[in-house]
């Protein structure tokens, strides 16, 4: 019987979707003895998963609950097949992305600060903020208190399942969408990431939702920030190291751009790090996928892959095939 190890903290109710003919083995995060399993569902918190990996024996297949799997191949080696949870986090991550864009353009962080201060007249700080971040020198009356998303030029960097869901959710805002991915293609038009430097100057909102690879590491740095429009918004819902943190801090502190981040480099962001106090920044601690549907969706995806594996069928979400 195939033995499937899973994080012991998971609600057993979510495991009912798994096929018959397997033995489910709960793996506590403080596992203190060796365990023989065929299939491993790692804890979504990689530090916990890495802690118990030396205790696991016989693993042939890894079914990740996450879309990103960058830490898994160097951990398990080339002789283990790895599948990710492609598609499981589309909705929650896309909703975070759209919410972060809207929250930034509507100045919600500023208005939350004003609410806490209890001083109504501070609302005119929004006008000063708009003038400073946009560089708009016109005399506008009534005063500007927020911005609009509708009609904005959006550059979507990464056009996988989550990127397509972000595009779908942005549809009602009638944004002008430009897409970029690892390779160029048509229908719809997708530019190659290698053309990014020519695309950035036109964008008002830049959304990063591509995987972390050797090619994407440090993709956005000082040169790219210099190419971006004054007041443009960078949204990173991908991985922190895709953006050079020192360059990001400098761009934010200079007032050139603004950003909304769910991921950082380093992560977790340590106490006292400059990003915590940067202006023009909305920061959340890597929570975009963490809705109540996280476990049900990712485990349903894993269960479907396991069924294919057991039936000798081609799996859909392979990111590394065993050699």
User: CA gyration radius for the chain?
Assistant: 22
Pairing mode, if any, of strands 39-40 and 22-27? unpaired
Q: Is residue 207 helix, strand or coil?
A: strand
Q: Is residue 205 helix, strand or coil?
A: strand
Q: Where are the alpha helices (DSSP H) in 56-150?
A: 72-76, 90-105, 108-117, 125-134
Tell me which residue of 131, 132, 149 sits closest to 140, measured CA to CA.
131
8 Å CB contact between 71 and 53: no
Pairing mode, if any, of strands 176-181 and 191-192? parallel
Angstrom distance (rounded) from CA 296 to CA 289: 12
Q: Is residue 108 helix, strand or coil?
A: helix
| Active-site amino acid positions | 239, 267, 286
Angstrom distance (rounded) from CA 103 to CA 214: 32
Positive or negative, the CA dihedral 38, 24, 55, 213 is positive
């Amino acid at each position: 019987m195939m033995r499937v190890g899973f994080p012991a903290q998971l609600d057993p109710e979510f495991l009912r979707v798994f096929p018959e003919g397997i033995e489910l083995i709960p793996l506590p995060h403080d596992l203190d003895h060796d365990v023989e399993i065929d299939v491993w569902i790692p804890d979504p918190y990689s530090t916990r998963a890495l802690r118990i990996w030396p205790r696991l024996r016989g693993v042939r297949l890894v079914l990740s609950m996450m879309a990103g799997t960058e830490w898994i191949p160097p951990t398990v080696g080339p002789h283990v097949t790895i599948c990710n949870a492609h598609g499981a986090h589309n909705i929650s991550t896309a909703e975070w992305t759209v919410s972060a864009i809207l929250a930034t353009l509507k100045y919600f962080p500023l208005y939350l600060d004003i609410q806490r201060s209890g001083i109504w007249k501070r609302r005119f700080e929004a006008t000063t903020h708009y003038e400073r971040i946009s560089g708009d020198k016109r005399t506008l009356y009534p005063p500007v208190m927020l911005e609009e998303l509708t009609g904005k030029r959006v550059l979507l960097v990464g056009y996988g399942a989550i990127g397509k869901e972000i595009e779908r959710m942005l549809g009602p805002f009638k944004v002008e969408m430009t897409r970029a991915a690892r390779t160029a293609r048509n229908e719809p038009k997708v530019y190659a990431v290698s053309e990014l430097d020519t695309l950035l100057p036109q964008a008002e909102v830049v959304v990063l939702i591509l995987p972390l690879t050797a090619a994407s590491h440090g993709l956005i740095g000082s040169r790219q920030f210099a190419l971006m429009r004054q007041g443009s918004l960078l949204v990173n819902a991908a991985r922190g190291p895709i953006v050079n943190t020192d360059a990001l801090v400098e761009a934010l502190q200079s007032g050139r751009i603004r950003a909304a981040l769910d991921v950082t480099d380093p992560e977790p962001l340590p106490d006292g790090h400059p990003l915590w106090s940067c202006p023009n920044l909305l920061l959340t601690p890597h929570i975009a996928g963490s809705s109540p549907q996280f476990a049900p969706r990712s485990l349903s995806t894993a269960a479907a892959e396991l069924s294919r594996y057991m039936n000798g069928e081609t799996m859909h979400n392979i990111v590394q095939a065993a050699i």
